[in-house]
Every structure is written in C-alpha cells, then in structure tokens.
Amino acid sequence: MTDKHLNLVLCGAGPATDAAVLIRLAQEQSWTVSVTATQAALSFINTADLEQVSGNPVRTDYGSPSGTVRMVRPIDALIIAPATYNTINKIACGIADTYVLTSVAEIIGRRVPTVIVPFVNATLAAREPFVASVEALRHEGVDMILGHSSAWLPHEPGTGHLQQTRFPWRAALRQVDRSHRRS
C-alpha cells in the first residue's frame, strides 16, 4: 500500500501523448498518480487509456457547476509536463481562469514539491515574459527542468516532433521524488 500521490498536469504539446510513460515509471516507484489535463491537452491524449493506466479519472474541469464541494485529494507532489509557453506564463503570473490553473496555483501555494518541464521552442523561450516566468517560478521554489544543467533546452521551431522521444520524464520524476523526500 502506497501513501504518496503524484498529480501530473498535461498541457497542449506533443509529449502529452506519451504521458503513460511517466505514470508507469511513477507507479514502479510506489506513487499513485492522477492526471489533470488542460483543454488544449485533450486533443493530444487518449483519456480512457490514461484513466486505465492511472486508475483515476482525468480531470479538466470543476465537475458539476451545482456542486458546492470541490473534492481536493491530498497531493504530495506535482509534475507539470509537458508545460506550454502559455501555461508557464499564466502560472508565473498567478492567473487562475481554469480548473487546471486554479488547482496548480493552490498546490504551489501549499509548497507541495513541484517540477515543471517546459516543451517550448527557442523563439518563444527567448521572449522576455517567458524568461521572467521561469525566473519567478524558480524564485518561488518550483523546480524548472530547463537549461544546460538539466540537459533540456528549447528546441528549434518545427523540430518538436524530433525532441518528443527525448522528453525527460525520468528526470522529472527523479527531481520530484528527491524534493518529496526532503519535504
């Protein structure tokens, strides 16, 4: 029986298609996993497959609008991967205009160990708002897997499909596991 729960947030970028890889790796290390997907991520994933592998429903919305109680399950660690340019900038600014962003804001606010793996091309990553977002999130204690020290760099535009197989799922899990042990 395991008592550590990982929430995986998927954004609308190619590697979301391979999210089952992370779920299985995490389960091998005694994590239970739930998946939260942005609206944009839904067109990249097979929701039924991820529900079957994780054993949990994939959440995108608040559920019933008439429901007054939002079920918040205890989350011990958060991985946001692949994280888009859009979502990284929104999280850094504190925008919470969707279920996913609100949930992420609360989890980071509770100081739950959080790892973000961007999947962003080099022209977007060069923008000042993105550079500032990465710095702000690091300052807040979020682990950003990005840069030479992580061996994970923004890709040239149009080459994302070549990078997808190199996506650092294993490094993300290793980092979140390390932070969770320290917390």
Ligand X SMILES: Cc1cc2nc3c(=O)[nH]c(=O)nc-3n(C[C@H](O)[C@H](O)[C@H](O)COP(=O)(O)O)c2cc1C
- Contact residues for ligand X (CB under 6 A)? 11-14, 38, 40-41, 84-87, 119-120, 160
Amino acid at 182: R
Q: How far is the CB of 130 from ligand X (least distance, A)?
A: 9
Residue nearer to ligand X on the CB measure, 13 or 58: 13
Pull the structure tokens for residue 30.
Answer: 């005694």
DSSP 56: S
Q: Which residues contact 169 (CB under 8 A, 6 or more apart)?
A: 18, 21, 22, 25, 81
Residue nearer to ligand X on the CB measure, 55 or 94: 94
Q: How far is the CB of 76 from ligand X (least distance, A)?
A: 24
Residues 69 and 6: their CA atoms lie apart, in Å, by: 22
Q: How far is the CB of 19 from ligand X (least distance, A)?
A: 13
Q: Which residues pair with 7 in a beta bridge?
A: 34, 78
Q: Give the number of other Cβ atoms within 10 Å of residue 172's Cβ.
A: 25
Q: Give the number of other Cβ atoms within 10 Å of residue 33's Cβ.
A: 23
Residue nearer to ligand X on the CB measure, 148 or 161: 161
Q: How far is the CB of 8 from ligand X (least distance, A)?
A: 13
Residue nearer to ligand X on the CB measure, 99 or 160: 160
Instruction: Give me the residue whose beta carbon is nearest to ligand X.
Output: 12
